[in-house]
Amino acid sequence: MRKQVLSSPFSSQLAPDLVAQVHIFLLQWYAAEQRALPWRATSDPYAILVSEIMLQQTQVERVLPKYQQFLALFPTLADLAAAPTADVISAWVPLGYNTRAVRLQSIARQVIAEYDGRIPDTIDELLQLKGIGRYTAGAIACFAYHKQVATVDTNIRRVLHRIFLGLEHPAPKLNDAQMLALAEEVLPEKEAYNWNQALMDLGATTCTSANPQCSSCPLQEPCRAYAEMSQYSLFPSGTVLRQLRKVAEKKTGYQSQPFTSTNRYFRGRVIALLRTLPTGHRMPLETLGATIKPEFTHQDLPWLQQLVEGLAKDGLLDYNESGACLP
């Protein structure tokens, strides 16, 4: 008997027949349409760890060439742990979110020090590694060690939400813990690897955030989001979804911030600039600020200092009163 993990207004949407239908449709689709990705051709926990950290908030197409290059430079966990941090950061460029490179090396060093160089195979132990959250722990346990576990990334969250709960706008109906409970509830027996990969593939190629290809989706029949969009159009599509999203955002007053004015953008510019310096050379804050931000003034110094101190705290640079440089 299927255990009832969720106790919520959505439990009635998890009828066994509906879940079984989704299993059949999605797994059949994945068997025929799965993407050939290099990290799917290995069970090496280290290689899978590298891929999972790289894929966080970065598209597969950008990760593919860097994944191969990174493993060529640091072919083993021990190689990564022993490398200078500046080399690891340089090898990570231009993936962005450079803190991931520092975090990855930190994980490698912790595994060497505390686990004799062997990446753990249980979620509880994986969560003891600093910088690994529940998704990455589940992904390593499932994809490297073939454990029967559920895990939830951005694509999986979106696909499960749309199939079983409906459109995610104006706001998702489940928090992180509830979404994980839903993922565990609908996990097919003995199919965790294929199921989790299938959900990610569908979310990346068909059930995308802004432009879902509903006409070619294998889950039209059981999908609640498809049924909701059908109320507004005979041909549910990305256009319908975007219109509904705009209405929701207008009601909530949400406005997105231009990327080029975000701290993330300037953090990336700081690291890119410091990479051009000779080894050991520091750049004063005033010079750094004027270079990354043409309209920089003395009044921006507290903002820049906070930005640089944050980068230093994340291990991405070294900072003192003389200025900043790569570690």
Distance CA 312, CA 320 (A): 10
The helix/strand/coil state of 319 is strand
Dihedral sign of CA atoms 101, 107, 113, 119 in order? negative
- On the CB side of 250, how many CA atoms lie within 13 Å of its CA? 6
CA separation, residue 310 to residues 225, 285, 303 (Å): 40, 14, 11
Task: Determine phi and psi for 325, rounding to 5 degrees.
Answer: -150, 170
* Known catalytic membership, residue 52: yes
Distance CA 127, CA 121 (A): 10
Distance CA 286, CA 32 (A): 57
Distance CA 232, CA 313 (A): 49
Peptide bond just before 94 cis, omega within 30 deg? yes
Rounded (10°) angle between helices 301-313 and 285-292: 100
* CA-atom Rg of the chain in angstroms: 22
Active-site annotation holder among 52, 168, 228, 321: 52
Give the catalytic positions in this structure. 52
